Amino acid sequence: MAASSFADRLNEQIAYEFAASQQYVAVAVHYDAETLPRLAAFFYRQAVEERNHAMMMVQYLLDAGDQPRIPGVEAPRTEFADVVEPVALALDQERRVSGQIGALAQAARDAGDYAGEQFMQWFIKEQVEEVSSMSALLAVAERLRDKPMDIEEYLAREAVVQEAIDPTAPPAAGGAL
């Protein structure tokens, strides 16, 4: 059945979002242990966002009458050579997810699943923002790789423009954190 194949793929995506969340927790803890609290805070917050993405997908499946399957996730990477490597890993991850989200929107469209296609629109916009902010952070981290305190300074300044609650975000199962 066409519609359930979109549901199956969305279920797979739940695993990728939880895995992204775990990876960002691992990156945050790494920076925290290095006494880089702004970098840690940035990734702790990203971890919560990824968790919320997973729970939005869970809620969508519940609403659509499909049984969400909560997955186990692979262990994240926890060892990093320098201050730049985790950000480069994060950007790779965001680019990969952008491809996955695009493929999901395509699968919904191919199945004639308009509700599914509409659901994916918010994630498409979200990925544009996440790739953009991670690209900016990578550029800064590469420029300042020998001065991590200056990266901290940058994040302290940029934190002022932290995103407010997005009223267009899909509801998350149990409520967004």
> Applying CB under 5 A, which residues contact Fe ion?
17, 50, 53, 130
- Smallest gap from residue 158 Cβ to Fe ion (A): 17
Is the CB of 17 or the CB of 152 nearer to Fe ion? 17
Is the CB of 1 or the CB of 162 nearer to Fe ion? 162
Which residue in the shown chain puts its C-beta closest to Fe ion? 53
* CA distances from residue 41 to 15, 88, 150 in whole angstroms, order as listed: 23, 17, 15
Is the CB of 11 or the CB of 35 nearer to Fe ion? 11
Residues with Cβ within 8 Å of 138's Cβ and at least 6 positions away in sequence, in order, are 84, 87, 88, 91
- Smallest gap from residue 149 Cβ to Fe ion (A): 26
How far is CA 109 from its chain centroid?
23
- Smallest gap from residue 94 Cβ to Fe ion (A): 5
Is the CB of 126 or the CB of 152 nearer to Fe ion? 126
- Smallest gap from residue 123 Cβ to Fe ion (A): 7
Is the CB of 90 or the CB of 155 nearer to Fe ion? 90
State the SS3 of 65-88.
CCCCCCCCCCCCCCCCCCCCHHHH
The encoded tokens of residue 17 equal 């979002």
- Smallest gap from residue 59 Cβ to Fe ion (A): 14
Whole-number Å distance between alpha carbons of 167 and 173: 16
Beta carbons of 142 and 26 less than 8 angstroms apart: no
